Structure 1
Amino acid sequence: MELDLDKDQLPVERALGLQWCVETDKFKFKISASQQPQTRRGILSVVSSLYDPLGFLAPFIMPAKLLLQELCRRNQGWDEAITESFGKTWADWLEDLHRVAEFEVNCCFKPRDFGDHVVAQLHHFSDASEVGYGTASYLRLESDGEVHVSFLLGKGRVAPLRQTTIPRLELTAAVLAVRVAKMLQKELQLPLKESVFWTDSTTVLKYIFNETKRFHTFMGNRTAYIREATSVDEWRYVSSKENPADEASRGVRAGEFLRTQRQNLECKTKMQKELEDVNSLLSEAGGNNIKSSKDLSSFESQLQDTQTLPQEETLQKLGLSGHLRQLEEQNNLQEMLEDEDERRMNVQKHLASLQANCVAHLNLRKWQWWRLLAEVKPLLQVTRQEERQELEKTAAQITELRAQLNKKEEELLAVLTRIEEEAAAQKKLEAHMLPLQEDHG
């Protein structure tokens, strides 16, 4: 079949497991989930059938992953039917699954007529919640004062089954962002500027900027990995409301996901906000506003030049004393909360250890008691048997003595009877002899 490129509509091809619309040069998703039983095995089969290597659907897939994790936490059997509440959650997610076909994202990072002298830079966002953590990476292109931002890669992972504090999950998300950055820098065939990493956790920034304090093993290892792979100057703060990785960390429904579509926005997002924030600070300091990204780069160079100045003089020059002092107080408070969480976790570990030791000691005592009982029981049985024999022998002797006493008693009764008879005969004889004695006298 011949295709007229001028008249005919271009077909939809498959590329990397996705639907590629040649006509619009956009990626789409064609969902055809097979009917599976409402079991842990069936849910895993449906979720695994969604091929999303670039993480376009990471925020939407997160609720299904959380459902699987909850079933795993409750030791749900692979072929055991899920409860009614879980069944409703799964049915709602399947209903939203068909709406994913409405989602589409441009294949090309660079828009048309953008220019040839392009400066590329990677921006990585990380975030965590109580249920998961994730990252979102963007490519920022700059040409002749124009800026274009495209989504590159996203990842969303559920939190471990073992309860973990939010600052630790935030630090884990930052490590994941660094790993993604290293992979993208290796794979992208573009000259890249120094990457920028964004996080809404001031505690993580405090860990990374720290130069003196020694942390626990968990935080220390991950902070060391971040400092070895990145520079401290690459890390910046972003509010939770403006952090696109927030959706990947907690998951969203299909309706909210399609409304936001942060992953395929072709506009100036956070970088424009950055210009506004810097202009606001410069206005307070009495400086000139920044009108383009070139001016922003120049301002960043000036900031690096002020690193040799004393801290107070630098802050006063930039008009940031109040802002940084407030951020430092917030960091100190967050650090105190983190230390409190660490102490609470240590106490819980100590109590768990004591409980385990008590249980082990009790089990040992029970085993020793049963062993002693098993050894003593035969001796008790032998002793009882000997006592029973002695008692039976004594009872036989008592019976024999009782018989002898009865026999003696009968003999005594016979003697008493004979004596009484002789006494009666003697009285009768005396009574008979008394008249004769009187006549003879």
Structure 2
Amino acid sequence: MDCHPIALDVLLQTQKILRERGKIRFHKFASNSQIVVDALSPGDRAGDLSDVQLDINTIPSQSSLGLKWNISSDTFTFSTDLKDVPETKRGVLSYLHSLYDPIGFLSPVILSGRFIFRDITQLELGWDELLPKDIILRWRSWQSSLHHLSEVEIPRRYVPTSIKNAERIELHTFADASEKAISAVTYIKITRNGKNHVGFITGKSKLASHHGHTIPRLELCAALLATEITTFVERQFDTQIDDIRFYTDSRVVLGYLHNKTRRFHTYVSNRVHRILNNSSPEQWTFVASDQNPTDIGTRSMPVNE
């Protein structure tokens, strides 16, 4: 991938300013552009890239904030070198926390493990007591399935074209809920040279409360989550978003959002108000359940699928 000269200039200028004004050494860079690598001294590159030629050598993966970046294929990959933990409540929780997934690539997979942990919390067990045999079998089955993570590769780029030079940029966010979880996922749609490109941006899943929530209320919570992650994504972009659309398979939620006369109970009223603070009723559209990509974020999915 070619490096934009402005980005390289910003990098070098930042290095210079930090060095001259703050006596700070800004280094340990990794890039999939030979132009960037050549512009940096070997001492300023990541340790295992100090004397690497991208078009000749086998490039080691780089790690950042819990993610692995395969420079050669320009994809995110996932480590399967996961620790063994005691088969106790404490061990299971520790293991789940070791699966760092800030963007939400693995949300449907991690959700399966969180379902197991929630079942464990319903048992009258101490933190270091051995789990019941049926729970251990479920846990081992899920844990062993994670070796398939080594086969998963996610493109680093949202879409295979420049966003900066796009003719039109849209965000499309889907919301869904089940009895066990709520979920939302955001995609970007780029139009350039008359062609459309769609890419995953981020997704999020949350466990539903055991008691006191009907499906319509959970669907409403999912809609709120959808507006929250979309607002976050919109703030991160330094370019104009031409349109933002939201989708739900709950006609009850659409009724809540389009209502102008009826007064709701406090729980519903508060969430409708928060949703409409970040969206308008006209931005919301019905989507059939079998066409809603968020469905797997509420019901979970094995790694190999």
TM-score normalized with structure 1 length: 0.56
Let me know the Cα RMSD of the aligned residues.
1.5
Deviations 1:18-38 (A, max 9, x none): 110000100000122111111
Q: Aligned pair 1:240/2:304, yes or no? A: no
Deviation at 1:255, TM superposition (A): 2.3
After superposition, the C-alpha distances for 1:22-68 in whole angstroms (9 at most, x for unaligned) are 00100000122111111110001111001100000000000111111
Indicate the residue corresponding to 1:214 in structure 2. 263
Q: CA deviation at 1:113?
A: 7.4
Amino acid paired to 1:61:
I
* C-alpha contact (below 8 Å) 1:73/1:161 kept by paired residues: no
Match of 1:177 in 2: 226
5+ residue gaps, structure 2, are 1-49
8 Å Cα contact 2:103/2:203 also seen in 1: yes
Do structure 1's residue 165 and structure 2's residue 214 form an aligned pair? yes
Amino acid at match of 2:72: E
Alignment of 1:81-96 (within 5 A): 81-96=130-145
Tell me, what secondary structure is at the counterpart of 2:104?
coil
SS of the aligned residue for 2:113 comes to: helix
Structure 2 residue aligned with 1:328: none
Displacement after TM superposition at 1:8 (Å): 1.7
Greater share of helix: 1
Q: Tell me the SS of whatever aligns to 1:195.
A: strand
**Which position in structure 2 is the counterpart of 1:127?**
176
Shift of residue 199 of structure 1? 0.6
Residue identity in the other structure for 1:14:
S
Match for residue 107 of structure 1 among 130, 150, 156: 156
How far 1:80 sits from its partner (Å)? 1.2
Contact 2:164 2:239 in 1 (8 A): no
C-alpha distance in 2 between matches for 1:109 and 1:129: 28
Higher fraction of strand:
2
In 2, Cα distance between equivalents of 1:54 and 1:114: 19
How far 1:212 moved relative to its partner? 1.1
Distance 1:119 1:55, change over 3 A: same
Structure 1 residue 16, shift from structure 2 partner: 2.3
Q: State the partner residue of 1:188.
A: 237
Larger Rg: 1
Q: Distance in 1 between matches of 2:162 and 2:106?
A: 29
CA distance in 2, matches of 1:161, 1:216: 21
Task: Select the residue among 32, 35, 45 that pairs with 2:94.
Answer: 45
Structure 1: how far apart are the matches of 2:189 and 2:124?
Answer: 45
Describe the shift of the 1:16–1:141 C-alpha distance in structure 2 as closer, same or farther (beyond 3 A).
same
Shift of 1:115: 8.8
Q: Give the aligned partner of residue 199 of structure 1.
A: 248
The AA in structure 1 aligned to 2:88 is T
| Residues 411-426 of structure 1 mapped to structure 2, 5 A cutoff | none
Unaligned 5+ runs, structure 1? 257-441
Secondary structure of the residue that 2:220 maps to in structure 1? helix
Is the contact made by 2:163 and 2:190 (CA closer than 8 Å) also made in structure 1?
Answer: no
Structure 2 CA distance, aligned partners of 1:244 and 1:75? 36
Cα distance in 2 for residues equivalent to 1:57 and 1:69: 18
Rounded Cα–Cα distance in structure 2 between residues aligned with 1:128 and 1:167: 9
Structure 2 distance, partners of 1:222, 1:197, is: 16
2-structure distance, mates of 1:27, 1:153: 14
SS of corresponding position for 2:304:
helix
* Cα separation, partners in 2 of 1:112 and 1:176, compared to 1, 3 Å: closer
Higher relative contact order (CA 8 A, sep 6+): 2
Q: Distance in 2 between matches of 1:97 and 1:227?
A: 39
1:260-339 paired onto structure 2 within 5 Å: none
String of CA shifts for 1:270-318, please: whole Å, max 9, x gaps.
Answer: xxxxxxxxxxxxxxxxxxxxxxxxxxxxxxxxxxxxxxxxxxxxxxxxx
Letter paired with 1:9: T
1:144 aligned partner: 193
Using a 3 Å threshold, how does the CA distance of structure 1 residues 112 and 235 change in structure 2: closer, same or farther? closer
* Higher mean C-alpha deviation, range 218-227 or range 19-28: 218-227
Letter in structure 2 aligned against 1:147:
N
| CA distance in 2: counterparts of 1:233 and 1:77, whole angstroms | 50
Q: Helix, strand or coil for the counterpart of 1:207?
A: helix
Shift of 1:4: 2.1
Cα distance, 1:74 vs. partner?
A: 2.3
| Cα offsets for 1:215-254 (capped at 9, x unmatched) | 1111111111112221111100111111111111111112
Residue correspondence of structure 1 range 391-430 to structure 2 within 5 A = none
Equivalent residue for 1:12? 61
Letter of the 1:212 counterpart = T
Query: 1:175, 1:222 within 8 Å by CA — same for their partners in 2?
Result: yes
State the 4+ residue runs in structure 1 displaced beyond 6 angstroms: none
Q: Shift of the alpha carbon at 1:104?
A: 1.0
Asked whether the equivalents of residues 115 and 143 of structure 1 are also in contact (C-alpha less than 8 Å), the reply is: no
Report the secondary structure of 1:197's partner residue: strand
